[in-house]
Amino acid sequence: MWEVLAQGDYIPLDEVGREIPKARWNNGQKKRFMLNSKARNALICDLTEEEYTKVHSFKSAKQMWDTLALTYEGSLELGKTQQVKLVGRTYDNFDHIDKLLRCLPRKWRPQVTTLRASKNLEKLLLEELMGLFKVHELELQ
């Protein structure tokens, strides 16, 4: 997937630059298209609502990635000159819960909003959260 993010070109083109119809794609071209879809999904799962509105219309994971990079790094050139040191960064329970809540599908938004408003997520255990989700799922059924 990283190659798709780095290079783009998820839609196969012929030698003159025209799109090749899907029916004529070879297995490699189909795989690259699927990797782009997976990369887009992985990016979307971790975006805030504001970030999502900036990039949701892009069909290419590379376009999404480049837009987000420009948003947070100013420019790719600036990003290359800076070194980010993440060594020693620890992730606590809240970090994991917060990421999990952001990755849930849209149908879970009301439940996520309720959890954020009613629970102290700093003290909530991951196991507790999973239990709450299971109960909610049973109630929906």
Tens-place pLDDT, residues 78-126: 444 454 444 556 667 788 888 888 888 888 888 888 888 887 888 888 8
Highest mean pLDDT among 14-23, 68-77, 120-129: 14-23
pLDDT of residue 87: 52
Domain closes at, from 81, 106, 126: 81
Q: Is 73 contained in some domain?
A: yes
Arithmetic mean of pLDDT over the chain: 80
Tell whether 109 is covered by a domain.
yes
Q: Are residues 10 and 74 in the same domain?
A: yes
User: Helix (H, G, I), strand (E, B), or coil: what is residue 10?
Assistant: coil
Give φ, ψ of 54 to 5 degrees.
Answer: -75, -35
Residue 135 pLDDT: 84
**74 shares a domain with 123:** no
Calculate Rg over the CA atoms of the chain: 19
**Cα atoms found within 13 Å of the Cα of residue 11, Cβ hemisphere only:** 9
pLDDT of residue 93: 78
For residue 60, pLDDT over 80 is answered with: yes
